Amino acid sequence: MDRLDNTVRPYAWGSTTAIPRLLGVEPTGEPQAEMWMGAHPGAPSRTERGPLTEVIDEDAEKELGRAAVAKFGPRLPFLLKILAAGAPLSLQVHPNLEQAQEGYEDEERRGVPIDAPHRNYKDANHKPELICALTEFDGLCGFRAPAEAAELLAGLDVDSLKPYVDLLHAHPEEAALREVLTALLSADRDDLAHTVTEAAAACARLGGSYAPYAEIAHHYPGDPGVIAAMLLNYVQLQPGEALFLGAGVPHAYLNGLGVEIMANSDNVLRCGLTPKHVDVPELLRVVRFEASDPGVLRPEASPDGEEVYETPIDEFRLSRYVLPQDAAPHDLTAATPQILLCTAGSVRADGSTLAPGQSVFVSAGEKVEVSGPGAIFRATVVA
């Protein structure tokens, strides 16, 4: 078992206090957005044996298990994070596996540098993800029904939004959503800025269901993504609840602290609330234009106390144990690789004590038992 020393990413949208509070350290005053746990080459966790990437490279079958290597190759197929949003993240979607492979091969063939700001595909993998709330957590997930989006926009009483309202009423669902998003992203940004400003002022004045969009506009004044965000479902998770984000589903995290797990990929296509590159044609190729319920997940409890967040993805499996003071230890030995993350209390893992925010990597087949009192997340794969 390897104790992990993890990198904290200081993205501008990060909270200045949430991760320090979890870790029990003083804030630096700088944003601390994401703490990465895993073997992503951009910020691999460090162990006493070296970076986790190198540990796995030395003997992938020993560290990951034969079945995981056969299914996913000689790499850890997931990335675990603590995510702390103090401001809205960019409105974004992720490609499916086929789209990612096609997009990556196309950009490689055209010689687009991997670090170019207009590059869409950093790898050939998909990026499904799951976010589980540690605090109250606000986000946007999936399209509203067009009629609901039309009603929300119409309620602002902004004349220049009426063409979008009419589009949402005039077409079948998929065409309506596609036309409105295309129009918003293709419009001249300066021309649309006045509309966004009017809409933001109306949101602030009306409050209630409009309040989240007033807050978004505060962080991204004049951004067309403010209007695009109103096409999506607003979701407020309570601690322990989660969202699964599949391919093509537009989403954005707005505020809160959570545990996030994803396939080990960097592929993001942005559609607003960002100064970064927005590739409209490629975005429209990837987005699934269908209204959907955001589908809040609650864990399924097993007889041994493991609470599992069920998803249709094999690259990751996330579960949680809430461990009472005097309960017998739980044997978590598995034939697959694991990362164990403490989020509350003081968890014992085979003689090592984990405080909140601390984590360990457990090689495939390595014996490990955990006991409380505390809460621990278990990240592994389905192989």
**Measured distance CA(309)–CA(323) in Å, rounded:** 17
β pairing state of 352-354 and 359-362: unpaired
Query: Cβ distance 23 to 5 under 8 Å?
Result: no
**Does residue 88 or residue 42 have the better pLDDT?**
88
Residue ranges of E strands in 200-335: 232-237, 242-245, 251-263, 269-272, 300-301, 307-309, 317-323, 330-331
Lowest mean pLDDT among 76-80, 86-90, 108-112, 348-352: 348-352
Both structure tokens of 4: 């992990």
Q: Is 77 helix (H, G, I), strand (E, B) or coil?
A: coil
Residue 72's nearest CA partner among 54, 60, 55 is 60
Mean residue pLDDT of the chain comes to 95
**Measured distance CA(17)–CA(28) in Å, rounded:** 8
Q: Is 149 helix (H, G, I), strand (E, B) or coil?
A: helix
Both structure tokens of 26: 């003083």
**Measured distance CA(381)–CA(316) in Å, rounded:** 4
Lowest mean pLDDT among 61-75, 147-161, 276-290: 276-290
- Which pLDDT tens digit goes with each residue over 187-239? 988 889 999 999 999 999 999 999 999 999 999 999 999 999 999 999 999 99
**What's the rounded mean pLDDT across residues 150-177?**
94
Q: Residue 98: pLDDT band by 50, 70, 90 thresholds? A: very high
> What is the separation, in whole angstroms, between the first and last Cα of the chain?
20
Query: Cβ distance 230 to 288 under 8 Å?
Result: no
For position 256, what pLDDT does the model report?
98
Lowest mean pLDDT among 21-25, 144-148, 280-284: 280-284
pLDDT of residue 126 exceeding 90:
yes
- Which pLDDT tens digit goes with each residue over 54-74? 999 999 999 999 999 999 999
Catalytic residues: 270
pTM, two decimal places: 0.94
Query: Cβ distance 38 to 264 under 8 Å?
Result: yes
How does DSSP classify residue 311?
-
- Residue type at 104 in one-letter notation: Y
Both structure tokens of 56: 């796995």
Q: 239: left (phi > 0), else alpha (psi -120 to 50), else beta?
A: beta
**Measured distance CA(242)–CA(38) in Å, rounded:** 21
For position 127, what pLDDT does the model report?
93
